[in-house]
Amino acid sequence: MSPAPSARRLRLGLPRRVFSQVLLMQLAIAAGVAVLATGLFLAPLGDQLDDQAMRRALAIAQTTAAHPRLAEELRSSPPTGAGPVQREADRIRRASGAEYVVIMNKDGVRWSHPDRTQIGEVVSTDPSDALAGHDVMEIDNGTLGRSARGKVPLRDAEGVIVGAVSVGIAYDSVRARLIHSIPGLLAYAGGALAVGALAAYLISRRVQRQARDLAFSDISALLAEREAMLHSIREGVVALDRSGRIRLLNDEAERLLGLGAEALGRPLDDALGPGRTTDVLAGRVTGTDLLTVRGRRVLIANRMPTDDGGAVATLRDRTELEQLGRELDSTRGLIDALRAQDHEHANRMHTLLGLLELEMYEEAAEFVGEVAGAHRVTAEQITEKIGDPLLAALLVGKATVAAERGVALSVPRDTALPDRLIDPGGLVTIVGNLVDNAVDAAAGAGSPHARVEVAARAEGRSLVLRVRDTGPGVPAELRETIFTEGWTTKEPPAHGKRGIGLPLVRRLAERQGGSARVDEAPDGGAEFTVVLPEALTEPALAATEESTLIEGTETTR
Q: Return the sign of the alpha-carbon dihedral for residues 73, 74, 78, 84.
A: positive
Q: Of 162-166, 257-261, 402-406, 495-499, which one has max mean pLDDT?
A: 162-166
Q: Return the sign of the alpha-carbon dihedral for residues 140, 144, 147, 153.
A: negative
Smallest Cα–Cα separation from 257: which of 305, 314, 325? 314
> Band of the pLDDT at 270, cuts 50, 70, 90?
confident
Domain end, chosen from 260, 289, 317, is at 317
* Residue 396 confidence (pLDDT): 79
Residue that wins the pLDDT comparison between 316 and 212:
316
pLDDT digits (tens, 9 = 90+) for 356-412: 878 787 777 776 766 655 455 467 778 788 888 888 888 877 887 787 778 888 888
Same domain, 122 and 172: yes
Same domain, 298 and 410: no
Same domain, 130 and 245: no
| Partners of 164 in beta bridges | 104, 153
CATH label of the domain that carries residue 27: 3.30.450.20
* Residue 188 confidence (pLDDT): 73
In-domain check, residue 219: no
Instruction: Assess whether pLDDT exceeds 50 at residue 547.
Output: no
| Cβ–Cβ under 8 Å, residues 301 and 280 | yes
In-domain check, residue 478: yes
Q: Of 163-172, 329-338, 493-502, 525-534, which one has max mean pLDDT?
A: 525-534
Residue 420 main-chain phi, psi, to 5 deg:
-135, 30
* Residue 13 confidence (pLDDT): 45
Residue that wins the pLDDT comparison between 211 and 49:
49
Same domain, 273 and 173: no
Q: Of 17-26, 35-44, 78-87, which one has max mean pLDDT?
A: 78-87
Of the listed ranges 76-85, 304-313, 354-363, the one predicted with least confidence: 354-363
Same domain, 21 and 165: yes
In-domain check, residue 365: no
CA end-to-end distance (rounded Å), the chain: 72
Task: Tell me the average pLDDT across 97-119.
Answer: 88
Regarding pTM above 0.85, the answer is no
* Residue 277 confidence (pLDDT): 83
In-domain check, residue 518: yes
pLDDT digits (tens, 9 = 90+) for 280-298: 888 888 877 776 777 767 7
In-domain check, residue 194: yes
Cα gap 528→430, rounded to integer Å: 11
Q: What is the mean pLDDT of the chain?
A: 76
Same domain, 398 and 265: no
| Cβ–Cβ under 8 Å, residues 459 and 512 | no
Range of the structural domain that residue 51 is part of: 17-214
Task: Tell me the average pLDDT across 296-325.
Answer: 78
Instruction: Assess whether pLDDT exceeds 60 at residue 504.
Output: yes
Structurally, the chain folds into a number of domains equal to: 3
CATH label of the domain that carries residue 514: 3.30.565.10
212: left (phi over 0), alpha (psi -120 to 50) or beta: left
> Band of the pLDDT at 549, cuts 50, 70, 90?
very low
* Residue 308 confidence (pLDDT): 82
* Residue 179 confidence (pLDDT): 67
Instruction: Assess whether pLDDT exceeds 70 at residue 18.
Output: no
In-domain check, residue 370: no
Cα gap 238→264, rounded to integer Å: 10
Proportion of the chain above pLDDT 70, given as a percent: 72
Same domain, 270 and 174: no
> Band of the pLDDT at 11, cuts 50, 70, 90?
very low
> Cβ atoms within 10 A of the Cβ of 512, count?
19
Of the listed ranges 56-65, 123-132, 141-150, 442-451, the one predicted with least confidence: 141-150
In-domain check, residue 33: yes
Task: Tell me the average pLDDT across 184-194.
Answer: 73
| Cβ–Cβ under 8 Å, residues 414 and 371 | no
Domain end, chosen from 271, 290, 317, is at 317
* Residue 115 confidence (pLDDT): 86
Same domain, 483 and 397: yes
